[in-house]
Structure formats: C-alpha cells, structure tokens
Amino acid sequence: MTVSEIIGFAVGIKTTGDVDIITVTYTDIEIQAMANKVLAEVGNRRNDPHPALTKQEQQDFDTLCRAIVAVKGDVEQQANKKANGNRTIFETIVRRVGFLPKGIGKKHQRVFESKTSEKGSFHVGVPSEGRNCTYVFQYGITPTVGVMPLTWSDFIPIPTTELIVNGLQSGTIVGVNYAVVMHPTLSKKAITEPAQVNPVSAKSKVVSSLPINKFGKISITHNVSLLNFSDVIYIIIP
C-alpha cells in the first residue's frame, strides 16, 4: 500500500462509540492526527510506492502503522469475544469499524475503493448490485482528510460501478460517496397488475428502490430523499 492508501485507511477507522469495540489502544482522533501529520510531511510523494522519507518522516509513518496494527488487534480480540465463533457476527463488527476480515477461501469481494489514477484525477469503484441499477456519485473538496466537504458536486448518475473525474489540482483532498437506485420492472399489462420491484439486499445499506404506486407508476414524496449514501472515502489527488 502507498502512503496515501495507508492514510486513507487510517481515517476510515471508526471505533468511537461502537457498541462492541469498547477499548482501543489509540482512539480514532489520535490515529487521524497521526495520519494528518504524515500527510503534511510527505506531501506530493504520498502516492509513490517507494517514497524517499527523511528519518523523522519514517518515524512518524511507522508510528501510524503501529497504531493501526494495535487497533486491529484490539478489534479482532473484542469482535471474536462477541461473535463466539459466529463468522457472520465477527465480519459485521470488523467491517463496521473500518477493517476487512481475513478471507476464508472465498472470492475477493469488491468494496468501495479508490483506484490508481492519472495526475489531476481520481478513480473510484464500488460493488455491483446487479442489473437495472443506477449508481449515483457525489464528491466535494475538503481541506483535511476526515472532514466532510461543505459543498458537494451535483449528483453524478451513471449505469456503471466505476467513475473517473479529472481536471482537479494535484494535492487537493476530495471526499466521495455514492448511492444505488434499483429500477422497478414496470408492468406492460393493465394498470391493475402490480409492478415488479427488484428486491433490495439486506446487506447493502446504500441501495434503495424507486417507490411504485398502486397503478404501477413511480411515485415519490416531496422532500423525501430516494438516496441512501455510503460513508465518505477521502482521496488525495495525485
């Protein structure tokens, strides 16, 4: 992982207030402070797979990595105790606080992630929710990793799971999130026949289905959002 990816991972840790992860060696705020210190020191070298670091920069980066490992151990221990052998409960807890559980022979599951991109751009990918979906992205510029953008872009609805945005200044920090809308299959027969709606996966909190009235028409309510946005990931523009 690059320094940028380590920083992004660090600010995604969310143990504060979790009902199952009670005690951690380092709080979320402490880890975020470490991550921001490394970011300030490394600057434009953060995306280099093998950046040349000064002695102080290396020490601060190592401190951040050790903190992440320490919290990882805390999370695994407490999640295992709560799960009591139930793999599903264990995975739910560790994912909820920002970690990915080790696989047990399963195919790699895609997650909402930042991908390698060209200078002045970002590239994100999200899990597929099947056919007949629209993926709605939005992003905003923020001064600090972990701080929500005050202003967001217009919604970007696309039919694919990957998005590339260019024309950004190197060093800019952006926050990105997304939502998914599943399209109903509207009946072509008499209006008395109900429309068929794609089932929404209980595992995916970002998916919503368009509401259908008794006549099989899409019917929305004023000032009620159709979108369930994901958590924000933060990207430092190369």
For the four alpha carbons of 115, 43, 46 and 37, in that order, the dihedral sign comes to: negative
> CA-CA distance, 44 to 172, in Å (whole number)?
10
Q: What is the pLDDT of residue 214?
A: 81
Amino acid 153: pLDDT: 97
- What CA–CA distance (Å, rounded) separates 129 from 135? 9
d(Cα 27, Cα 34) in Å, to the nearest integer?
A: 11
- Residue 103: C-alpha distances to residues 71, 107, 108, 126, 167 (Å): 19, 8, 8, 19, 37
- pLDDT at position 213: 80
Helix (H) or strand (E) holding 177: strand 173-182
pLDDT of residue 201: 41
Span 107-165, pLDDT tens digits: 444 568 888 888 899 999 888 888 889 999 999 999 887 788 999 999 999 999 999 99
Q: Please state which architecture CATH assigns to domain 110-238.
A: Sandwich (2.60)
- In sequence order, the 6+-apart residues with CB closer than 8 A to the CB of 135 are 126, 157, 158, 159, 160, 161, 163, 178, 179, 180
Residue 108's pLDDT is: 44
pLDDT of residue 215: 80
* pLDDT at residue 45, rounded to an integer: 75
What is d(CA 137, CA 106) in angstroms, rounded to the nearest whole number?
28
> Which positions of the chain have pLDDT values less than 70?
1, 46-51, 101-111, 185-204
Name the token pair of 187.
């009946």
Q: Where are the domains of the chain?
A: 3-96, 110-238
Nearest to 9 by CA among 237, 238, 235: 235
Helical (H) or strand (E) element with 139: strand 133-142
Q: What local confidence, expressed as pLDDT, does residue 9 receive?
A: 87
Query: In this structure, are residues 187 and 195 in contact, taking their beta carbons and an 8 Å threshold?
Result: yes
